[in-house]
């Protein structure tokens, strides 16, 4: 069983919550979200909010909080082979109550179909909130160009 090593990013001003599934090997190594250089998450957010692509963890946190975004993952622990979402077994969800108790979250977005699947399975009924499924920024979602992703993700603004 692998446990999620990265704490959520949020503050009392967060209005949007973006949830991934579970951090990749690269992200777990770096101890921060979307750490794989081929993942387009940070490029997409930078384009949506018309700012430079953040390079450091501090710059990434600043981009999120400046734009009232909370960021975490649906899964707290699971069995997973490498970074393959398709290999996730025995998933245990995170407790979003910690974020909801501090921030007035107006909308929840999930990054890709795996995050949507586990959100709907473990969280939708528990929290009584729908999540909007966004196209995954993962390099595995190769049919989506960066421009197409940016266009779709603009709704978070």
- Rounded Cα distance between 101 and 69, Å, is 15
DSSP 9: B
Rounded (5°) CA angle 118-46-30: 60
pLDDT at 85: 87
Collapsing DSSP states into helix, strand and coil, what is residue 91? Answer: strand
Burial of 150 (0-12, 13-18, 19+ CB in 10 A): middle
Domain 2-156 architecture: 3-Layer(aba) Sandwich (3.40)
Contact yes or no for 141/135 (Cβ under 8 A): yes
Choose, from 39, 76, 94, 120, the residue flagged as catalytic: 39
Closest alpha carbon to 48 in 77, 6, 18 = 18
- Rounded Cα distance between 7 and 5, Å, is 7
Collapsing DSSP states into helix, strand and coil, what is residue 128? Answer: coil
pLDDT tens per residue across all 157 residues of the chain: 999 999 999 999 999 999 999 999 999 999 999 999 899 999 999 999 999 999 999 999 999 999 999 999 999 999 999 988 889 999 999 999 999 999 999 999 999 999 999 999 999 999 999 999 999 999 989 999 999 999 999 999 9
- Rounded Cα distance between 45 and 58, Å, is 15
Domain parsing of the chain, residue ranges: 2-156
The dihedral sign for the CA sequence 41, 84, 17, 134: positive
pLDDT at 84: 86
Whether 39 is catalytic? yes
């Amino acid at each position: 069983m692998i446990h999620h090593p990265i704490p959520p990013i949020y503050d009392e001003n967060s209005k949007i919550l973006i949830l991934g599934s579970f951090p990749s090997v690269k992200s777990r190594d770096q101890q921060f979200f979307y750490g794989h250089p081929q993942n387009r998450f940070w490029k997409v957010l930078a384009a949506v909010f018309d700012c430079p692509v953040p390079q450091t963890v501090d710059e990434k946190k600043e981009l999120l909080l400046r734009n009232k975004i909370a960021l975490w993952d649906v899964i707290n622990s699971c069995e997973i082979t490498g970074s393959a979402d398709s290999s996730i077994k025995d998933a245990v969800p995170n407790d979003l109550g910690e974020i909801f108790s501090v921030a007035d979250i107006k909308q929840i977005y999930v990054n890709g179909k795996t995050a949507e699947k586990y959100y709907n399975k473990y969280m939708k009924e528990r929290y009584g909130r729908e999540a909007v499924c966004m196209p995954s920024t993962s390099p595995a979602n190769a049919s989506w160009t960066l421009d197409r992703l940016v266009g779709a993700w603009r709704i978070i603004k």
